[in-house]
Structure 1
């Protein structure tokens, strides 16, 4: 099991204060990593740190402040130490028909799920290249695989990060910086419940689509991320990995 250890590694997890990000943080700490969770809601971050323990630090930062990302990366490296792993997990949700979605709403979702992901990946890649090692994980979605109603901005962003990954893999692999993408299925999280709790037909449709007939848990994504980030996945690069209870291939 040594190949799955993250002992001595440092991981930055955006959106690490709740949901999938928190599940990944918990798994990484169990594997021996030190984790820095990032988010906008400091109260939520403090609560998460309390549950995660001494190997967790937190920083309140809005990833949509793109101009501040280079300084944020440099400050993190200077004050916290060399970052070995970046998990791009910050997210927001907009449930709205495409014809009713405004340009500003569309761009707001892209800022969180795509533009900030590119900026963070670009800046952390620079220092990872210098050290000739690093692992970056994007979080995509089932909406990058199948068309779904009322998530046009989210779907566009989550599809685009796959193209972003593939392009950057072609440039960074020579420097031993790996980038992979996890596509969570329907995972128990505040974002999922916000989308379905008041929409029973949608919830029923989703559950009927999942062969296992149940939602996943954040640690299911955490275990997949651990594999990709650890030495167990050292020859895995540019992979799009659904973790979905069989939904992608189900009927």
Structure 2
């Protein structure tokens, strides 16, 4: 029987985190690395990836990759495996946000958001899942959103993409779990990141509204999401699959 705290350890695991150079992706990478995992960060901006890997040190690597280049998913897998061997945890975290009224959102804009979130994560899942199932060991995580759980105005493309994650997690978990591969998602609430700070700086009323409807009365920290990801990827979550875990200070159940 695995003992505490080893049951939460990621020693021996190798995690690939898309969008790992900034924000929540960076926090997931940091927490998984602290938990003992070898990590591979991916993203489009090499300078950010280099900075993060340099800061983390041993067991940290990166591969520059754009998830919207769907036909290059196999290249990412090959490069990652050449660096660290088999990947045991895939974190589909890369995404883009677009705030725009629904009637002003063009088909091209909608498609770009879907390509980044939905088709990008599917392409990587198709690449990494077979090896995990063959080894009877693996975990796939998706970064969902409050937009997966309830309506938020002026983010229709983002809402559609993040809502799709809910269906993907349930469908993939049903298909993959009998083969030793668990699939889950985290739905972050409003988190204190560089991006959110910039948004709130120009819209203090929005921050006030968010805090008013958050039962804990505060913004979350990126590490709150990071440690939730560690749990879901660890042996402690052996019997957890197909779930959407809100990390939101109670927003999704509060009034």
Structure 2 residue corresponding to 1:65, chosen from 65, 69, 84: 69
Asked whether 1:29 is paired with 2:11, we answer: no
TM-score calculated relative to the size of structure 2: 0.95
Structure 1 partner of 2:110: 106
Q: Deviations over 1:199-249 (max 9, x none)?
A: 222222111111111110111011111111000001101011000001111
Structure 1 partner of 2:228: 224
Q: Alignment partner of 2:162: what SS? A: helix
Q: Distance in 1 between matches of 2:50 and 2:80?
A: 18
Q: Deviations over 1:32-54 (max 9, x none)?
A: 11110111011111111122222
TM-score calculated relative to the size of structure 1: 0.97
Q: Distance in 2 between matches of 1:170 and 1:62?
A: 28
Q: Distance in 2 between matches of 1:153 and 1:196?
A: 21
Q: Deviations over 1:164-206 (max 9, x none)?
A: 1111111111110000010000111233234433122222211
Structure 1 partner of 2:194: 190
* Cα contact 2:40–2:80 (8 A) shared by 1: no
Asked whether 1:199 is paired with 2:203, we answer: yes
Q: Structure 1, unaligned stretches of length 5 or more?
A: none
In the TM superposition, structure 1's runs of 4+ consecutive aligned residues that sit over 6 Å from their partners are none
Deviation at 1:101, TM superposition (A): 0.6
Structure 2 partner of 1:20: 24
* Cα contact 1:92–1:191 (8 A) shared by 2: no
Q: Structure 2, unaligned stretches of length 5 or more?
A: none
* Cα contact 1:106–1:153 (8 A) shared by 2: yes
Deviation at 1:78, TM superposition (A): 3.4
Q: How many residues align?
A: 251
Structure 1 residue corresponding to 2:127, chosen from 107, 123, 126: 123
Structure 2 residue corresponding to 1:84, chosen from 83, 88, 98: 88
What is the RMSD computed on CA atoms of the aligned residues? 1.1
Asked whether 1:142 is paired with 2:153, we answer: no
Q: Deviations over 1:61-107 (max 9, x none)?
A: 11110011123213322342010111111121111111111111111
* Cα contact 1:95–1:195 (8 A) shared by 2: no
Q: Distance in 1 between matches of 2:139 and 2:41?
A: 16
Structure 2 partner of 1:235: 239
